Amino acid sequence: MNNSKLSSIGLIKILGCFIFDIALILGFLKTFGLFFIIAPSKSILVLFVLFTGLMMLNLVVAFSDMIFMRIGIPYSAAIVTLTILYVSVANILSVFLIAGSIVWYIVWELIMFSVFILIFSAIAAFSNESAKDIIKIENEQVGKASIMLQLMEIENAFNKKEDQKFISKCHKLFVILKQRIQASTPFGRIIGNSEVTKVEDQIKDNLTSLLANIKVDLTEKNLLQLQRLIEDTLKLVVNRETLNIH
């Protein structure tokens, strides 16, 4: 349903851009039709600037959702505003300057475009950091949700066991492990550190094994294995925190 809605919005934006382009081009041809006959080479330059500006504007509008999701609202708004400003100023200058020298016309248009590129590059540099922060937050949310779900499932599995006294020691150890994980740095927050990633993956694998072992009929031998698994996982959590500090 959501994908269908997003697809419909995308088609509406593309249709809106297409209608706007047609209207602007028809208005341009209506206004400067005679100029095309008098100075065809200059008219082609003006039309090229118009087409370039429309293409840039269409791309920004069509991919606005993607840009927003990647770099956030402030930088997305800055890019859209900058593009609209450039397209407007470039085309207004185009109309006023075309009557003069073609060389100076090209010079001023290139100056305008270079200013646009420089400002756009600055925004892109800052937005890159914003994109990293967004990815970091997403990774943290996914990692935190995943580990919390595993802990809840293990807790439920312990609670379903009939002989609570028989498994009380393992359960108490697990409670300590759970509290330690909840108090530690959220999983997925640390990115770019392969050692931390390996430890986090091993902790998740251990929790998966722990859940699978709890669900079977427990014996004294199984309980000892569970106890060692929980203790090993607790050591991994401590090691992970040490790696985070360093």
The DSSP result for 154-191, as a single string, is HHHHHHH-S-HHHHHHHHHHHHHHHHHHHHSPPTT---
Grade residue 34 by pLDDT with cuts at 50, 70 and 90: low
Same domain, 20 and 101: yes
- Residue 75, number of CB atoms within 10 A of its CB: 20
Q: Quick one: 183 and 105 in the same domain?
A: no
pLDDT greater than 60 at residue 119: yes
The number of folded domains in the chain is 2
Please tell me whether residues 85 and 184 are part of one structural domain.
no
Q: How confident is the model at residue 1 (pLDDT cuts 50, 70, 90)?
A: very low
* Residue 147 located in a structural domain: no
Give the model's confidence band at 115: pLDDT under 50 very low, under 70 low, under 90 confident, else very high.
very high
Residue 154 lies in a domain: no
Same domain, 10 and 102: yes
Tokens of 215: 């669900």
Asked if the structure places residue 144 within a domain, the reply is no
Tell me the CA distances in angstroms from 63 to 18, 70, 79, 107, 207, one per residue in order.
14, 11, 12, 30, 41
Residue 56 belongs to a domain? yes
In angstroms, what is the C-alpha Rg of the chain? 31
Q: What is the full DSSP assignment across 200-221? A: HHHHHHHHHHHHHHHHSPP-HH
Spatial separation of the C-alpha atoms in residues 96 and 79, rounded to whole Å? 26
How large is the average pLDDT for residues 116-121?
A: 90
Determine the Cα–Cα distance for residues 147 and 188; give it in Å rounded to an integer: 10
pLDDT at position 114 is: 93
Task: Say if 216 falls within a structural domain.
Answer: yes
Residues 95 and 172 in one domain: no
The contacts of residue 206 (CB under 8 Å, 6+ apart) are 229, 232, 233, 236
Considering the domain architecture, whether residues 110 and 16 belong to the same structural domain is answered as yes
Query: Does 204 fall in a domain?
Result: yes
* Mean pLDDT score of the chain: 80
Whether 124 and 225 map to the same domain: the answer is no
Structural domain span for residue 129: 2-134
pTM: 0.56
Do 7 and 124 lie in one domain? The reply is yes
